[in-house]
Amino acid sequence: MILQIDQVVKQFGGIAAVNGVSFKVGKQEIVGIIGPNGAGKTTLFNLISGALPVTSGSIRFKGEEITNQKAHLICQKGIGRTFQVVKPFGNISVLENVKIGAFNRIQKSREATEYAEYVLEKVALIHRRDSVAKSLTIADKKRLEVAKALATQPELLLLDEVMAGLNPGEIHEIIPLIGSLAKDGLTLVIIEHIMEVIMQLSQRIVVIHHGEKIAEGSPTEVTSNPKVIEAYLGEAVSFA
Amino acid sequence: MKRAVTKSTLLWLLVLLIALLIPVVVENKFYMHTLILILFYAAVSGSWNILAGYAGQLSLGHAIFFGLGAYTSTLLFMNGGVSPWIGMCAALALCMLVGACIGYPCFRLKGPFFTLATLAFSEVIRLVASFWKELTNGAVGLNIPFQAGFSNLMFRGKEPYYYIALGVLCLVIAVTYWIDRSKMGAYLIAIRENEEAADALGIPITRYKLYAVLISSGLAGITGVFYAQYILFIEPEAMFNVNFSVQVALISIIGGMGTVAGPVLGAVLMIPLNELLRSAFSGLNGLNFFLYGIVLILVVSFIPNGILPTLRGWLSKKRANRHSQLTQAIPGTQKGGGQVDSAN
């Protein structure tokens, strides 16, 4: 088990955004997290990556307790993440953006540049290497998010809606990229709204609703689960 | 890539050579004084640039370190007969300590709130220096007794001061250049651009901000030591002046924040302008500030990134245009670098 989440709770004031969620992720697995808007998916990512402290519960990475550790330490241990709302370093070039991520494992500037170029080739963004990051299209900014996180050389990558806001053509371009990451030995946890994508990519799906896990299983198991259907479509109405 | 590095190194060497030869040509004392001021202002602004331009922590309190450096070496020299060269080490240590003490709590504050906090600290230190008469001689200031000699860092002519100021500036440029090329610079820029994203990429934010403030305050302090030995008179109103902090910031803002050469360019343009305006409108007190202000408004509204980055952007655009014209004219010449064009 690379990631173990045990009874994690996060409360904002009186509201429990994440309420006792537990699941495990095995090495080189692709796990999808789905749920309606406001279900607590991104909050869960923020807890795992250390951007927010948990109220209670524990998170373990490769058997080591990482609950409430600082975000930069968690990244150094090998968990990379992307942000749903992209956060490029806007005023510097694409290459420099990725290079900053590469410095997580590499000390020398030249080697970091080489690694950044390697990552940019992988995510098919090398042709924009000298562009200023803020001038990229949204699809390219999402690729840049993935590239930055990849450059830190993580073992576990948390992808937060990397397809949201992309058109179908762009989505079909990015799916093989994510598939290839898994082939390289990365473990992936993916939040995604687009069902088609998550069904294609993930081996296992965790469904969250109102901060609680309501279902877990293979894509087909999950989609036929009545609780999941209820969460997405509302309760069945019987007409008298 | 490699050729670009040597090109910029050549340019730096050329500028250094010209700077070294200037005192041979210039004999006018007023011009020499202006040149020395340019070097000192470029050095302080360069130190400010490390904290503000690279790490994005806009300080309006750099007079603190400049003044503290000047006072430390001067008090040690006047009360204990300690050579300013040794006083410089004490000033360096004290400025870094004060920088860390101010920086550490203030780094929690974001944007304008950090700036206001540095401004407040600067005023507090000015008042302490004004009222702690036993130590600083208060608002009357300190007159450093003139005893020429290398160990006292005092000289009869202006040339030695010029070369010392040039040396200090070279130190600041060398440190900035090293930061610019290393992991440190990349991390500081990441912090400036987006702290949350920097955190997620494994950057220990507070530690790197501390590095920046330590280097920045130390360099500003060293510059203060040499400035005091040049002026030979220091007072709280002049050394801990908010206007000075603002001017130091403006030099970098106009030249180009977050670049190695920006503060130098800013000082070369703004200090002579300031001196010129002051001597041209000596009858109308304050008109020089008025014109200075107009220049500032023009720069900020038309080239908000500063002169150097705008110039660079303009040059690279021109180069790209020429490149595309060439490749259009001769279709068979796309090699290596032409990949981008063919992909589009």
Which range of residues forms the domain containing residue A75? 3-87+154-233
Quick check: is A78 in a domain?
yes
* Nearby residues of B290 by Cβ (< 8 Å), 6 or more positions away: none
Does residue B339 have a pLDDT over 70? no
Quick check: is A182 in a domain?
yes
Q: Are A107 and B183 in contact (CB under 8 A)?
A: yes
Quick check: is A121 in a domain?
no
Is there a contact between A96 and B189 if contact means CB atoms under 8 Å apart? yes
Quick check: is B289 in a domain?
yes
Q: How far is A230 from chain B (nearest CA, A)?
A: 35
Q: Which residues of chain A lie closer than 8 angstroms to B198, CB-CB?
A: 100
- Tell me the mean pLDDT in the region A78-99: 94
Confidence of residue B320 (pLDDT cuts 50, 70, 90): confident
For the ranges A151-160, B85-94, B299-308, the lowest mean pLDDT is seen at B299-308
Is there a contact between B193 and A92 if contact means CB atoms under 8 Å apart? yes
- How confident is the model at residue B304, as a pLDDT? 83
Does residue A221 have a pLDDT over 80? yes
Quick check: is B277 in a domain?
yes
Which range of residues forms the domain containing residue B71? 29-303
Nearest C-alpha in A relative to B206: A72
Name beta bridge partners: A30: A188
Quick check: is B66 in a domain?
yes
Quick check: is A223 in a domain?
yes
- How confident is the model at residue A237, as a pLDDT? 65
Quick check: is B20 in a domain?
no
What ipTM does the predicted assembly reach? 0.90
Confidence of residue B1 (pLDDT cuts 50, 70, 90): very low
Number of folded domains in chain B?
Answer: 1
Q: Which residues of chain B lie closer than 8 angstroms to A76, CB-CB?
A: 202
Alpha-helical runs (H) found in chain A: 41-49, 71-77, 94-102, 109-122, 138-151, 168-183, 195-201, 219-224, 226-233
Nearest CB to B203 within list A72, A96, A149: A72
Cβ-based contacts under 8 A for chains A and B = 75
Mean pLDDT across chain A, nearest whole number?
91
Number of folded domains in chain A?
Answer: 1
Q: Which residues of chain A lie closer than 8 angstroms to B54, CB-CB?
A: none
Q: Which residues of chain A lie closer than 8 angstroms to B194, CB-CB?
A: 87-90
Quick check: is A228 in a domain?
yes
Nearest CB to B200 within list A51, A91, A107: A51
- pTM for the whole thing? 0.88
Mutate to test the interface with A, among B181, B201, B316 (most CBs of A within 10 A): B201
User: Does residue A124 belong to the interface with chain B, where contact is any CB pair within 8 Å?
Assistant: no
Nearest C-alpha in B relative to A76: B202
- How confident is the model at residue B134, as a pLDDT? 86
The CATH number that applies at residue A204 is: 3.40.50.300
Quick check: is A110 in a domain?
no
Does residue A13 have a pLDDT over 60? yes
Quick check: is B162 in a domain?
yes
Quick check: is B5 in a domain?
no
Contact map slice: B 205-234 vs A, CB within 8 A: 205
